[in-house]
Structure 1
Amino acid sequence: MAINWQGVFPALTTKFTVEEELDLPAFITNLQAQLDAGVDGIILGGSLGEASTLSNEEKNTLVQTAVEYVDGQVPVVLNIAEGATREAVRIAKEAVGLGVSGLMLLPPMRYKADERETCTYFKAIATATDLPIMLYNNPIDYKIEVTLAMFDELIALPTIQAVKESTRDVSNVTRLRNRFGDRVRILCGVDTLAMEELVMGADGWVAGLVCAFPRETVAVYKLVKAGRIEEARAIYRWFLPLLELDIHPKLVQYIKLAEVGAGIGTEHVRAPRLPLVGTERDRVLAIINEGLANRPELPQFS
């Protein structure tokens, strides 16, 4: 299935039982909520999906479940975040057989590669598959920045088509657009900057709080792209305290708790993560409950 790298792409959480096993019924419940809201694709196995705690078999199970359930309605994108280049290449080659439509690539994990090493890593994966690729540029969390000069080199490969823009510098959208035009699709990867980047010309939004609030996320995107800025801004102002849950080291626990409040998830996580307790849990719940109590009525949009 082709990907045009536009619209809302939820970075889905991985649902677990209290025993830390995959909870596929809960996963499907949330997946259906995303489809009902009109998302444009889904991303599996990202940081929000607790990928570092999943076995390869579990990742494959999630992908196969999603591909079968989605049945071509939207593209399914698999995240690759490996420490070894050959392991990343192996996963990329196997991904086609799993039925995924594209890949999202993090830079080498657990090693701060320099520019030459990072480009070589991305190229090795991009030449091992025909699947379209979105690079994840997040120097804040992963300590490696994909610079404009690196993009110059990388987009010589036709499979590299998009970037999840998470530098937290809104002006980088304009830099990318000025340098590459539409050759590189730009998807905002930071919830608290999404409307700003969409207004500045980003093509899409790789979203986190969409896992709990899919309709509102899609509404902001659709309204901005329709030029209905004031209506989008009203939703976004309501949304911002919730979106700020996405920029915390415990974003997984925070967003899963929001999924519970919205009735489309569970808060079970896999150790070493632990469920929230005490004053921290109370504080996050207060934000979620305030948002739910004042959830806006959404305008009509196509």
Structure 2
Amino acid sequence: MNIQWKGVMPAVTTNFTAEDTLDFKMFEKNLNYQLDAGVEGVILGGTLGEASTLLEEEKQDLILETVRIVDGKVPVIMNIAEQTTRGAIEAANKAEANGARGLMMLPPMRYKATDFETVEYFTQVAKNTSLPIMIYNNPVDYKIEVTLDMFEELLKLDNIQAVKESTRDISNVTRIINRFGSRLKVLTGVDTLGLESLLMGADGWVGGLVDAFPEETVAIYKLAKAGRIQEALTIYRWFLPLLELDINAQLVQNIKLAEVGTGLGTEYVRAPRLPLMGAERERVLAIIDNSLKNRPTLPEYKSL
């Protein structure tokens, strides 16, 4: 399956039971809602997926189950976030063997690599997999920026095809398009810049709150791409207080609470994460409750 690198792609949460095992029943319910809403890919094992807490056998089971559920409707993309080049290559090979059709890749974890080391890291992984790759560029959280000059080198490799643009600099979408045209597909990775990035020409949106609100997210994307900007903007303005829950250190807990609100998940997280407590929990619940009370009626968007 070729990946078009467009549309809405949820960075899905990993559902757990009260006994801290993988909850595939709830996971399947959420995925089916994503597919019904019109997402164009599913991304596993990111920050929202709590990948750093998953055992290797759990990651394998997660890919296999996701491949079964989506049944070829959309590509399954596995996030790679490793400390070593060797580990990243092994993770990429396992993902491919288990049915993933693409990779999202972070720079090396824990070590602040130089520009040369970062390019070499991505290069070696790309040379050792046939899967297409989206580079996750998030210097705010991971302290390494993949610059345009670095992408110039990386794009010599055919299977490096897209960027999850999370620099928080909206003008970077235009810089990328001006320099690379359609050679490097741009997917925004910051929920609070979702519509703005699409209007600047981004090809897609890797979302977080889409996990709880798939229809609203896909509707914004479809309406924006169809030129129905005012309709997209109306939904987006309603959505913004929820989207701001994604740019927060407790984004996993926040989004899982939102999933509870829409019946698409549970709030079980894996320690050391713990469910929200006290005043912060009440603040987040108030945002979710108010948004649900004022949830907009969506236009027919799926055929756009």
Partner residue, 1:61: 61
For 2:242, the aligned partner's letter is L
In the TM superposition, what is the alpha-carbon distance from 1:280 to its structure 2 partner?
Answer: 0.8
The answer on whether the counterparts of 2:34 and 2:211 sit within 8 Å (CA) in structure 1 is yes
Cα distance in 2, alignment partners of residues 42 and 89 from structure 1: 21
Cα distance in 1, alignment partners of residues 58 and 94 from structure 2: 14
Q: Structure 1 residue runs of 4+, over 3 Å off? A: none
For 2:179, the aligned partner's letter is R
In the TM superposition, what is the alpha-carbon distance from 1:91 to its structure 2 partner?
Answer: 1.2
In the TM superposition, what is the alpha-carbon distance from 1:257 to its structure 2 partner?
Answer: 0.2
Cα distance in 1, alignment partners of residues 293 and 124 from structure 2: 49
Cα distance in 2, alignment partners of residues 139 and 162 from structure 1: 17
Cα distance in 2, alignment partners of residues 274 and 13 from structure 1: 15
Deviations 1:128-183, CA, capped at 9 Å, x for gaps: 01100000000000000000000000000001000000000000000000000000
Aligned positions, number: 302
In the TM superposition, what is the alpha-carbon distance from 1:206 to its structure 2 partner?
Answer: 0.2
Cα distance in 2, alignment partners of residues 96 and 204 from structure 1: 23
Aligned-partner SS, 2:257: helix
Deviations 1:241-288, CA, capped at 9 Å, x for gaps: 000000000000000000000001000000000001111111000000
Cα distance in 1, alignment partners of residues 133 and 118 from structure 2: 15
Partner residue, 2:14: 14
Partner residue, 2:180: 180
Deviations 1:90-141, CA, capped at 9 Å, x for gaps: 1112222111110000000001001011001000100001100000000000
Cα distance in 1, alignment partners of residues 148 and 251 from structure 2: 29
Partner residue, 1:72: 72
For 2:291, the aligned partner's letter is G
Partner residue, 1:189: 189
Partner residue, 1:82: 82
Partner residue, 1:137: 137
TM normalised by structure 2 equals: 0.99
TM normalised by structure 1 equals: 0.99
Does residue 274 in structure 1 map to residue 278 in structure 2?
A: no
Partner residue, 1:108: 108
Partner residue, 2:40: 40
Does residue 231 in structure 1 map to residue 226 in structure 2?
A: no
Cα distance in 2, alignment partners of residues 296 and 261 from structure 1: 15
In the TM superposition, what is the alpha-carbon distance from 1:300 to its structure 2 partner?
Answer: 1.3
Unmatched segments (≥5 aa) in structure 1: none
Alignment of 1:111-122 (within 5 A): 111-122=111-122
The answer on whether the counterparts of 2:63 and 2:95 sit within 8 Å (CA) in structure 1 is no
Cα distance in 2, alignment partners of residues 277 and 20 from structure 1: 19
For 2:201, the aligned partner's letter is G
Cα distance in 2, alignment partners of residues 248 and 54 from structure 1: 21
Aligned-partner SS, 2:8: strand
Partner residue, 1:4: 4
Cα distance in 1, alignment partners of residues 268 and 96 from structure 2: 30
The answer on whether the counterparts of 2:39 and 2:218 sit within 8 Å (CA) in structure 1 is yes
Report the identity percentage. Answer: 66
RMSD over aligned Cα, in angstroms?
0.5
Partner residue, 1:28: 28
Partner residue, 1:208: 208
Aligned-partner SS, 2:27: helix
Aligned-partner SS, 1:176: helix
Cα distance in 2, alignment partners of residues 223 and 166 from structure 1: 22
